[in-house]
Amino acid sequence: MSPEKIKLCPECGSEYYAHILTCADCGIPLKMPEEVEKKGDKKPNAAEHPPDEWVAIREEGREGIRELSDLLLRNGIPSQIALPPGCGTGKCERRYLLLVAKNEANIAHDCIENFYAQKYPDIKTSQEWSSQGRCPACGYGMSPDTKACPDCGIVFMGEG
């Protein structure tokens, strides 16, 4: 497509004909190429953190990544949503990366873990049971070399 006949998605960079209004993948309004290049459209604090200082902390589908990005923003942690390496169109299994500044990765990770613990309280119980040598699914006490829970039948994956 020639530059004067396209619009771009500011989120994933996909190109569309100029008459299209919304990105099919991201669901956000498309912009003319010159609008996307404006400094005001940059992600929060992108100028403060060069690209090599951003690290991926999660990879999920579009809605999950947006939810986590909004969570971090509400907690004062800047983030970016990016495509996985090698994907230039946003159609690579519809997966996206959540990026944060390298020096805020641990804080962002803790924030997300707390969010999931509140959203899914059973996760915390399962983790506690597992750390106590109990089945993470039902809480049945087991020996460390058990391959499957004798109570509920869940099969445990071996390491390596």
Q: The domain 44-119 is classified under which CATH number: 3.30.70.1530, 3.20.20.70, 3.40.50.920, 3.90.550.10? A: 3.30.70.1530
The residues, any chain, with a CB within 8 Å of residue 28's CB and separated by 6 or more, are: 9, 10, 11, 22
Q: Residue holding tokens 């991201």?
A: 26
Could you give the 3-state DSSP secondary structure of residue 9?
coil
Tokens of 59: 């990879």
Query: What per-residue confidence (pLDDT) applies to 43?
Result: 46
Say what the pLDDT of residue 156 is.
83
Residues 6+ apart with CB under 8 A from 126: 136, 137
Q: Return per-residue pLDDT of the chain as tens, 160 residues.
A: 444 578 888 777 778 888 888 777 777 788 888 777 543 444 444 445 555 688 999 998 888 999 999 999 999 999 888 887 766 555 566 788 899 999 999 999 999 988 988 888 888 888 889 889 899 889 999 888 888 999 999 998 765 4
pLDDT at res. 92: 60
Q: Is the dihedral of CA 39, 45, 48, 53 positive or negative?
A: negative
CA gap 119, 111 in Å, rounded: 12
Query: Can you give the residue ranges of every domain in the chain?
Result: 1-41, 44-119, 132-160
pLDDT given for residue 4 in this prediction: 58
Q: What is the pLDDT of residue 108?
A: 94
pLDDT for res 96: 86
